[in-house]
Structure 1
């Protein structure tokens, strides 16, 4: 069994896709052992609780420095002895020490076809550039934001009447298919 800890900050729709895949036994032996959030009001915590997955909240506002928050978070995560850390809408830039601690076993999903459009506003940037397609990438987390090796990508066409919001909706739906597939690939050790 691959022990998975998921980090979220908000609604948790990608988390829900992972929970649904787990309930269908489609995570390749992966099992979500805990969900952490830096926001107590994150709806994703309720999603995890409804699936009987342990949840923990640790507010970054309780720490004067980012390093102190990340150190405390690592200690609490390590109590679950994770094999894989899945960032699912965790809206914090992680410190190098955190990234190094989980090197090679932490993944993120990003709403672009990396290496195109790291960072924010990916949908608007793709439309503004006149791209014909857009998508999402699951990648290993490294110290550079959205720079880690790509595990899996999915694509959607950019339609003539697309706005950043309509494109975001289609990419988000794609993410819900892509993330469970990528996690399954990792758990089945089809990639390293």
Structure 2
């Protein structure tokens, strides 16, 4: 359907955020369509999720490319061929080249397991983020959905959801609590875009079609 926002999801791991997006689409809570799931890791759990739900899936193994830009160009070729309008990073453990960011201005979004700008940037990923939150003594943590730009974890914030940091928390327990909010936040952010309430960039080759 033309009015559905077409999404490409990029994931390196198990893809639980991908699954939450799939579930919300299939339940009718999110009016969008995933046109590609792409992983740089052969055998990643996200690919099995795509197969189970009959979503086109692709492997682009970064180890097979001589440079980051060559890898990114192959990603872009798939995304453009599938006519994706929005690119959602679902635990994609690669930093993009300037080519990729410039090719999709304002059309890439990411979710980070902390309240940016705190505990973000190069080296802050996975449990390292939650360990940093606990070490800082913060009483509140959460997740941030944001646009992607040339700097890591830096683009404009779309929305955040918060959780308390409990005295007995470990990195594992905090991660579990934040992840539940991630599963809500990502679909909420995509819904804002799908409804046209939040504008995203245009690619000259793929006109963005939004529901009136």
Indicate the TM-score class for this superposition, using the shorter chain for normalisation: over 0.9
- SS at 1:103 equivalent: coil
Instruction: State the partner residue of 2:132.
Output: 125
> 1:35 Cα deviation (Å)?
0.5
1:11 matches 2:14: yes
1:64 Cα deviation after fit:
1.3
* DSSP-derived class of the 2:145 partner: strand
Q: Which runs of 5+ in 2 are unaligned?
A: 200-212
1:1-192 residue pairs with structure 2 within 5 A?
Answer: 1-27=4-30, 29-119=31-121, 120=124, 121-192=128-199
Tell me by how many angstroms 1:72 deviates.
1.3
Describe the SS at the equivalent of 2:95.
coil
SS in 1 for 2:7: strand
Q: CA deviation at 1:30?
A: 1.3
Normalising by structure 1, we get a TM-score of 0.97
CA distance in 1, matches of 2:185, 2:75: 27
TM-score (norm 2): 0.88
The CA distance in 2 between the partners of 1:63 and 1:92, in whole Å, is 13
Partners of 1:100 and 1:116 in 2: how far apart?
Answer: 26
Superposed CA RMSD in Å reads 0.9
SS in 1 for 2:141: strand
Give the 3-state SS of the residue equivalent to 1:86 in structure 2. Answer: strand
Q: Which runs of 4+ in 1 moved over 3 A?
A: none
Q: Which runs of 5+ in 1 are unaligned?
A: none
CA positional deviation for 1:129: 1.0
Distance in 2, Cα, partners of 1:152 & 1:30:
19
Q: Provide the C-alpha distance between the structure 2 equivalents of 1:26 and 1:187, rounded to a whole number of angstroms.
A: 11
The DSSP-based 3-state class of the residue aligned with 2:29 is coil
